[in-house]
Amino acid sequence: MISTEDIITSWLTEDSKINSTGEILSWIDGLNKSTYVNIRECSIYDSDFWFYDDYRGEVLNRKRSFFSIIGMRHFEDGEFIGEQPVIVQPETGYLGIICRKIHGVLHFLMQAKIEPGNVNCVQISPTLQATKSNFTRAHGGKFPAYLEYFENSAKYNVIYDQVQSEQSSRFYRKRNRNMIINVDEDINVLANFKWMTLGQIKRLMKINNLVNMDTRTVLSGLPFYLGDNGAVKNLFRDEPLYTSAFLTDPQKEFPAVFQKINDYKMFKDVTISPVPLNQLTEWKIDEFGIYCKKPADFSVHYYDIEISGREVQHWIQPLFKASGIATFALVMKNIEGVKKFLVHLKPEIGTFDKIELGPSVQWEPTHTEALDNSVDKCLRSHLRTKKGIALDVLLSEEGGRFYHEQNRNILLTLDDGELEKLPEGYLWVNFSTLNYMVQMNNCLNIQLRNLLSLINI
């Protein structure tokens, strides 16, 4: 069985005798040099698999598998909020990591994987990253490696298992099963996989676009209540974080948090209506993609993709292309010796159940200073002075559906006296509260979960 002490010890182990961090970086560099990748924009007419159905106003494929793209309109209390194309992918995929104690230290089996939309081709990914179409071989490819461990997870020690949301500003109610399983037996390590400690992965997260989004969302679910924590305190470098994680009771914060969430779910009349793409008044569609007639956070393009070493090595598909770099920030503050985290209730067009908790700041590319509230202004001030910035790194979003979408991820620590009064919809919570809530589905959005994975002790 894995304990909290095992997780923290792995977190503090920033290099490994199994695979040094230098060896991992050389391995990724070698794969980038040896893997053939050719991705170019094309017309949907170049594909004999994907097509645009003008009658239904939908982009889909001839097997009606993988995903489709349709239009959606968003209303709140009868007021029009917006309209856009969204990805509809009703299947639930696997995002899973196998871990094992090696030489007394917990290691995680990570994959070097290329997705067509990745900024820098190869990224460090979970052991298993597979849609239902992948593991049912709807595309005719090979079965994903290590799938059998997750399909037979009842045989192993399951550390984390939860169905979590994807990017709700692009997907409609899309979720994946996030899993971490502990395996005691020897595992045959394939060529594109390596064992890494949690500390190594955390170090690699500080490098732009190296650790993919799926790894980050899975690791955010590591629980910190596994067994006696008495020995853990001496391992923590950040005492207020230790206090927030282990000496606070999340049950005391749940009523206030869920009151805000449930008030929104109960009293906000939210309508998300499907609409044919050709009836979106603000968007236009042609053989090369879907574009907004005014500034928007993304457009949709079609890509001809060649990648060696994948289950399928040549195909055409649509990808959502961001119009710029988004910014996500998690603001932290030590209050009476306890590290608190500022979260924000965030409704989005594709949210599974109307609303989730998001990070302190979630700016899409079109967000401007004119839209700022006091939290936004506080972050901009710190970005100008560079004061209190604990981490500032560019990290990629999901490369299987998004083309070269990288977002700025910031951890910011405030001083006493800052943000004493919060706008509506924001609240300070303990780490223990967030750690318990990530064990539930549809509570924390993917941007917040990704930022939680970046925290260091």
Is residue 205 pLDDT above 80, yes or no? yes
Looking at the predicted structure, is the pLDDT value of residue 158 above 80?
A: yes
Pairing of strands 402-403, 314-322: parallel
Block residue for tokens 């997705």: 115
Give the type of residue at 169.
S
pLDDT mean over 241-255? 95
- CA 107/CA 100 separation, integer angstroms: 5
Residue 228 clears pLDDT 80, i.e. is over it: no
Q: What is the pTM of this model?
A: 0.96
52-56 average pLDDT score: 96
Strand partners for 285: 290
CB neighbours of residue 63 within 10 Å? 10
- Whether the pLDDT of residue 404 is over 60: the answer is yes
Domain boundaries, the chain: 243-270+324-453
Q: What angle do CA 128, 136, 43 make, to 5 degrees?
A: 90
What average pLDDT does the structure give for the chain?
A: 95
Mean pLDDT across the stretch 91-111? 97
pLDDT, one tens digit per residue, over 176-196 is 999 999 999 999 999 999 999
148-152, 231-235, 270-274: lowest mean pLDDT where? 231-235
pLDDT at position 15 over 90:
yes
Each residue's pLDDT tens digit, 284-326: 999 999 999 999 999 999 999 999 877 778 999 999 999 999 9
Which CATH number applies to 243-270+324-453: 3.40.50.170, 3.40.47.10, 3.40.1010.20, 3.90.79.40?
3.90.79.40
End-to-end CA gap in the chain: 23
pLDDT in tens, 337-347: 999 999 999 99
Give the separation between CA 274 and CA 272, rounded to whole angstroms.
7
| Rounded distance between C-alpha atoms, residue 123 and residue 32, angstroms | 9
Report whether pLDDT(138) > 80.
no
Residue 408, Cβ density class (10 Å: 0-12 exposed, 13-18 middle, ≥19 buried): middle
Confidence of residue 440 (pLDDT cuts 50, 70, 90): very high
Cβ-Cβ contacts under 8 Å for 34 (sequence gap 6 or more): none
Residue 23 pLDDT: 98
Give the pairing type, strands 327-335 and 361-363.
Answer: antiparallel
pLDDT at 231: 78
Of the candidates 66, 114, 62, the one whose C-alpha atom is nearest the C-alpha of residue 93 is 66
Is the pLDDT confidence value at 139 over 60? Answer: no
State what percent of residues in the chain have pLDDT above 90. 91
For 295, phi and psi rounded to 5 degrees? -55, 130
* CA–CA dist 109, 453 (Å, integer): 17
Answer with the residue of higher pLDDT: 132 or 200. Answer: 200
Q: Work out the burial of residue 237: count CB atoms within 10 Å of its CB; fewer than 13 is exposed, 13-18 middle, 19 or more buried.
A: exposed
- Helices first, then strands: H and E counts in the chain: 11, 25
Instruction: Say yes or no to pLDDT of 438 above 90.
Output: yes
Q: Which two tokens stand for residue 435?
A: 């750690």
- State the Cα–Cα distance between residues 138 and 120, nearest whole angstrom: 27
> Does residue 134 have a pLDDT over 90?
no
3-class SS at 120?
Answer: coil
Per-residue pLDDT band for 131 (boundaries 50, 70, 90) equals: confident
**Nearest-10 crossing angle of helices 198-205, 4-12:** 50
> Is residue 428 within 8 Å of 409, Cβ to Cβ?
no
Average pLDDT on 142-161 reads 94
